[in-house]
Amino acid sequence: MKILQLCLKPPLPAKDGGCIAMNNITTGLLEAGHSVKILTIFTQKHDFVPEALSNDYLEKTQIEGVYVDTHINVVDAFANFITSDSYNISRFFSADFDIKLTRLLRYNKYDVIHLESLFMTPYVGTIRRNCNTPVVLRSHNLEFVIWERIARGSSNVFKKMYLNYLARKMKNYEISMLNYVDAIASISDEDRQRFHDLGIKRRIKTIPFGIDLRNYHVLNDPGSDEISLFHIGAMDWGPNVEGVQWFLNKIWMRIHEEFPNLKLYLAGRNMPIDALPELPNVIYVGEVDNAIDFMRSKSVMIVPLLSAGGIRVKIIEGMAMQKAVISTTLGAEGIECTHGQNILLADSPDQWLEAITEVVMKKNRANELGCAGREHVRNYFDIASISKSLIQFYKELRRE
């Protein structure tokens, strides 16, 4: 099959979970013997550097990038109040990208056009005008759900009202576009059920995040490491900041009193150090050169998310590296894991203290959870199996 993959940011370098998810789709399709052409947006936040990519990757994907300025424009944002558009989405529309896409569609024939996330849906109209190729939306998150959850967690009345307004506009837009594409590749069963509950009539299939365990080597004796906690995630993403602040403000000092030698390492680009408290044994690492090497050097991953949707790629990566994971129930959504078996779930400060006490005080407990987590990834998130499922989905759409 010949697939056109439209991306909201370059899949490589794999700077965050979204990049990793997109690149794994590309890799899985290529390894299954299919042709993939990538057209991607790049921004001030996610640059496109072809020179940093391998010649093999450039040749196989024929990747092209178009710069889009997604800086918030005050005038445009204000105008959004009197239009039906969602400004968070419309910022990703570019006339230059639209022209490049139009030319591709006029001079090439594709079997499927694969959109990476809701942020690429402003281009569906262009696709419809130039071809009748099936359009599949790869849904990474239900975007309006994130805004609703952030609004619920806000204590500022005016901020809550504004966030609820943004969530309503996003919801209206999201529902309209979900019914405009031909099919949806949902990243989790939970999101698929939400689509059905919203009355979406299009074909929906769960295509989880896929991973190649060969790329995630583990230490020969991970149980010998000193216990340390770590969190890694882009710190310019609101839910990550919210979760880390909550953990530091509500939980960390209780943990420190119980375990004064335990350390917490916080990694991720754009770390807002000025907005985070200075606490004992909390080490702000910031952006790391290699996320895999960073995770390998620590033992217990924490994921204190309070307001997100979709699936957390970093949890699957942590499990793949045989790391014990402690997460909120919401953070582990979509991973089909089992509390006490391959993950520890904690939602309240008391539960977090209990979970961390378990991995610190029980010898080999962290290693037991890590081994079970890696086996869970092997059974449920193998990229080869998931790619086969996606390709079958494409073929079913082509036959309709």
Six-digit token pair at 60? 């196989």
Based on the fold, state whether residues 375 and 386 are members of the same structural domain: no
At residue 191, the 3 state secondary structure works out as: helix
| Cβ neighbours of residue 310 closer than 8 Å, sequence gap 6 or more | 139, 140, 141, 142, 187, 188, 191, 333, 334
Q: How far apart are the first and last CA of the chain?
A: 16
Based on the fold, state whether residues 184 and 298 are members of the same structural domain: no
Based on the fold, state whether residues 235 and 184 are members of the same structural domain: no
Quote the pLDDT of residue 166.
Answer: 80
Give the whole-angstrom CA distance, residue 297 versus residue 302. Answer: 14
Length of the chain equals 400
Instruction: With residue 158 as reference, give the H or E element that holds it.
Output: helix 157-178
Based on the fold, state whether residues 34 and 95 are members of the same structural domain: yes
CA 299 from centroid of its chain's CA atoms:
22
Based on the fold, state whether residues 170 and 51 are members of the same structural domain: yes
- Judge contact between 322 and 299, C-beta under 8 A: no
Based on the fold, state whether residues 122 and 43 are members of the same structural domain: yes
**Nearest CA-CA partner of 332 in 355, 358, 312:** 312
Q: Which residues pair with 301 in a beta bridge?
A: 230, 325
Quote the pLDDT of residue 304.
Answer: 96
- Judge contact between 386 and 210, C-beta under 8 A: yes
Query: Which bin fits 42, alpha (ψ -120 to 50), beta or left (φ > 0)?
Result: beta
User: Backbone phi, then psi, for 94, in 5-degree steps?
Assistant: -135, 130
Based on the fold, state whether residues 204 and 246 are members of the same structural domain: no
Query: Which bin fits 107, alpha (ψ -120 to 50), beta or left (φ > 0)?
Result: alpha
**Averaged pLDDT, groups of 10, the chain, 400 residues long:** 96 88 94 97 92 96 95 50 57 93 97 95 96 94 75 80 83 90 93 91 93 84 71 89 94 97 95 90 94 92 84 91 96 92 98 97 94 96 94 89
Full residue range of the structural domain in which residue 167 is found: 2-210+382-399
Based on the fold, state whether residues 206 and 83 are members of the same structural domain: yes
User: Backbone phi, then psi, for 314, in 5-degree steps?
Assistant: -65, -30
Q: Which residues pair with 112 in a beta bridge?
A: 3
- The model's pTM: 0.82
Based on the fold, state whether residues 334 and 348 are members of the same structural domain: yes
Quote the pLDDT of residue 49.
Answer: 93
Quote the pLDDT of residue 82.
Answer: 43
- Judge contact between 301 and 268, C-beta under 8 A: no
Six-digit token pair at 199? 């009355």
At residue 43, the 3 state secondary structure works out as: coil
Based on the fold, state whether residues 163 and 282 are members of the same structural domain: no
Quote the pLDDT of residue 206.
Answer: 94
For the stretch 27-39, pLDDT in tens is: 999 999 999 999 9
Looking up residue 229, the CATH number of its domain turns out to be 3.40.50.2000
| Total structural domains within the chain | 2
Quote the pLDDT of residue 83.
Answer: 46
